[in-house]
Amino acid sequence: MATGVVNTVFRLRSFLAAYARSLVAYGVVAALWIAASLLIAGFGAYAHLRYIVELAAVIGLVAVGQTVAVIAGGIDLSVSAVITVTAIILPLLSFDVDVSGLGAIALALAVAAGIGAVNGFAIGFLGLPPLIMTLAMATILQGLLVLIAGGSAISVSNATLDWLGSAHVLTVSAGIILWLAVAGACLFWLHGTRSGALVFAIGANPIVSRLSGVPIPRITLAIYVLSAICAGLAGLLLLSMNGQGYVGIGDPYLLSSIAAVVLGGTSILGGRGSYLGTIAGAVLLVTMTALITVVNASEGWRSVILGCLILGMLPLSGRDQSR
Amino acid sequence: MSAEGRRLYWLIQWRRNDGLGALFLVLAAFVVLYAVLFPGIFAVGALAKFVQGWFPTAMVAAAQTIVMLTGGIDLSVGPMVSLGSVVAASTMQGPLGIFGGVLAVLALGACVGAITGSFVAIGRYPAIIVTLALSFVLRGVALLILPRPGGFVPPSLSEFLAGSHPTAAFLLVLFVILWKLYQATPLGIGLIAVGDNAEGAYRSGVNVTAVRLTAYILSGVLVSLTGLYVAAQTGSGDPVIGEPMTLAAIAAAVLGGVGFLGGQGTMRGALAGSLLMSVLINVMFFMGLPLVAQYVVQGLIIVCTVSLPLLRSTWQRAS
């Protein structure tokens, strides 16, 4: 019996030690929410906090793939382009036969997965640097989108998306539930399965991983497909909240997804971190934006404060140990 | 320098062209194509205009190359160009006029470069996240100074830098001379050494921190001066004009054979890479392709140039 207790305590302690950096962001969010609720009338209302989490759900979904890519020592700079792609092609994929709209959604996500597969293949099998491959992909998609869609906004009517954008289950928005479900699956994959552990191994030391027989190309492919699908889901959620897709709809989400990952304590150098922290990072970002909006700051101030926030949180994300 | 030393110098310089042959060939082909499409290019005025179009890309590519040679990367190039143009356009009305404006832009570039450099060289934080965060800050500051395009650039300065004179071409030559001189100083030699093997460079007596710090300061100054040039070209400051330049700078450097891990690449390669992109955009314009198609082509070119050597080495290992 005693060993069982010791074992549990030990596991709890090692968990806390490993994820202490991820938990800092939760403390900051809690402190901000309590302080803001006391100081600003209406901030602490359930509906307002729910609205903050709803906005965070979009960032959080994009950041699922971003977190996994960063833990594996990579980065995905094409997420904003993938968001825009799904938000723009979904209206083009609607058919009369497809009453529920699920078919169009599946097709749009398949397109996103295809983009991710191209990224993953080039990075995993050809060995292109993730930064250059995903940046180039973002540029290509950006050009293609303007060529295809032009400057106009495209409205959508899709039964499933309408439900996603407006429904509440026990007063919790459907978008938040979607986020929680994806987050739970991601956490289980990263921390509860063999292939999830290999993601950490690749990020911590790719050479040792390769020599130990880790199928790096296959896992890398899976990571970037996952990242693109998550970005696609975020694009659909965004579309359901917005009602319209247009070129540039996904642009703000590239930097905020990376910021959420960094604020959540995941090391940008790979090998260390958890999606647990990213959840708090996403909520923290939206909370900060909401607070800045309350004091009526302009877009310029918002950008400056966001940048300084990331710089200030750098010590959490880890230093370059190699030199 | 003795005759033997001179021979060795040119031999090494010639060797550094290795791997750039394909780029030079493609570049030559496109220049010929461009000359066929637009025979007037070799008049002094047209050439001056062409160099003016190329100059900003060349400068940001050079700045990116300096940083990448040390093993870093700068994702704040675009916002820095914007901020440089905004600062130039809003300080030149001041009492010091053009001189004050140039001074302000120089100070801005050196300060931001020093901040980035301190985080990366002294704090040892990853350059990618530091410059990403700084790109937010710079974009915000530019928007705060000039919420929408405006400000004032003296027409005489615009005429001098971007008028009918080949000033940009002279500036480019001046830059290459300065770069050669810098390469003859300990800090300049250290650039590639630090990027290739920081530990080894340190053990050989290279001041790694100083090399990195000056690299970021130099790159910051180059980029903010590019902003000044862009302001002179357009006649005003614009808080978002530099946005596409982050990618263009990286693309030109990678196209020119500058490696991501540091210690690999040449300035001539990066300049040739930026020239190729500039010629390509001009050729596409003449062929009547929409301007956004250049993004697609730019992306494809980057992927191809980076993956070709990788594919070749895979085949060599297989056979």
Q: What is the pLDDT of residues A267-314, one digit of tens each?
A: 777 788 888 888 888 888 888 888 877 776 777 887 888 888 878 877
Residue B23 lies in a domain: no
Residue A12 lies in a domain: no
Cα separation, B112 vs B128, whole angstroms? 15
Nearest chain A Cα distance for residue B165, angstroms: 34
* Residue contact B137–A308, C-beta within 8 A: yes
pLDDT at B1 (0 to 100):
60
Tens of pLDDT, residues A76-131: 888 988 998 888 888 777 776 666 777 788 888 889 999 999 999 988 888 888 88
**Closest chain B CA to residue A297:** B144
pLDDT at A75 (0 to 100):
87
pLDDT at B223 (0 to 100):
94
pLDDT at A3 (0 to 100):
67
Residues in chain B with CB shorter than 8 Å from the CB of A305 are 140
Both structure tokens of B177: 């001379």
**Domain count across chain A:** 1
pLDDT of A322 > 50? The answer is no
pLDDT of B148 > 80? The answer is yes
* Residue contact A303–B130, C-beta within 8 A: no
Residue A35 lies in a domain: yes
Residues in chain A with CB shorter than 8 Å from the CB of B138 are 307
Burial class (CB in 10 A: 0-12, 13-18, 19+), B315: exposed
pLDDT of B6 > 70? The answer is yes
pLDDT at A321 (0 to 100):
47
The β-bridge relationship of strands A168-169 and A244-245 is: unpaired
Cα separation, A286 vs A179, whole angstroms? 15
Tens of pLDDT, residues B40-67: 777 777 788 888 888 999 999 999 999 9
* Residue contact B303–A128, C-beta within 8 A: yes
Asked if B308 is an interface residue toward chain A (Cβ–Cβ < 8 A), one would say: no
Query: B residues 207-236 near A, CB within 8 Å?
Result: 208
pLDDT at B254 (0 to 100):
83
Residue B91 lies in a domain: yes
pLDDT at B294 (0 to 100):
75
H helix runs in A72-149, sequence order: 79-92, 102-124, 130-149
pLDDT of A63 > 60? The answer is yes
Cα separation, A63 vs B86, whole angstroms? 33
Tens of pLDDT, residues A147-194: 877 767 777 777 777 777 777 777 777 788 888 899 889 888 888 888
Cα separation, B37 vs B45, whole angstroms? 17
Residue B65 lies in a domain: yes
Cα separation, B57 vs A321, whole angstroms? 34
Q: Give the model's confidence band at B118: pLDDT under 50 very low, under 70 low, under 90 confident, else very high.
A: very high
User: Helices (H), strands (E): how many in chain A?
Assistant: 13, 4
Tens of pLDDT, residues B221-266: 999 999 999 988 888 888 888 888 888 888 888 888 888 777 788 8
Residue B277 lies in a domain: no
Substitution target from B116, B146, B295, B298 for chain A, most A beta carbons within 10 A:
B295
Cα separation, A209 vs A197, whole angstroms? 11
Q: Is residue B41 a contact partner of residue B289, using CB atoms and an 8 Å limit?
A: no
- Average of pLDDT values for B77-105? 85
Residue A261 lies in a domain: yes
Task: Provide the residue range defining the domain that includes B96.
Answer: 61-263
* Residue contact A310–B142, C-beta within 8 A: no
Cα separation, A85 vs A119, whole angstroms? 15
pLDDT of B131 > 80? The answer is yes
**Domain count across chain B:** 1
Q: Is residue B82 a contact partner of residue B238, using CB atoms and an 8 Å limit?
A: yes
Residue B289 lies in a domain: no
Residue A8 lies in a domain: no
* Residue contact A323–B123, C-beta within 8 A: no
Residue B135 lies in a domain: yes
Q: Which residue do the tokens 């010091």 mark?
A: B96
pLDDT at A224 (0 to 100):
94
pLDDT of A223 > 80? The answer is yes
Give the nearest partner residue to A132 out of B123, B254, B292, using CB atoms.
B254
Tens of pLDDT, residues A254-269: 888 888 888 887 877 7
Q: Give the model's confidence band at A18: pLDDT under 50 very low, under 70 low, under 90 confident, else very high.
A: low
pLDDT of A206 > 70? The answer is yes
Residue B100 lies in a domain: yes
pLDDT at A323 (0 to 100):
35
A322 contacts: CB under 8 Å, gap ≥ 6: none
Dmax over CA atoms of chain B, in Å, equals 70
Residue B312 lies in a domain: no
Residues in chain B with CB shorter than 8 Å from the CB of A142 are 292, 295
pLDDT at B224 (0 to 100):
93
Nearest chain A Cα distance for residue B162, angstroms: 29
Task: Provide the residue range defining the domain that includes A77.
Answer: 19-317
Residue A14 lies in a domain: no
The 3-class secondary structure across A9-29, one letter per residue, is HHHHHHHHHHHHHHHHHHHHH
- Average of pLDDT values for A238-263? 82
Residue A104 lies in a domain: yes
Asked if B260 is an interface residue toward chain A (Cβ–Cβ < 8 A), one would say: yes
pLDDT of B111 > 90? The answer is yes
Question: What DSSP state is assigned to residue B121?
Answer: I
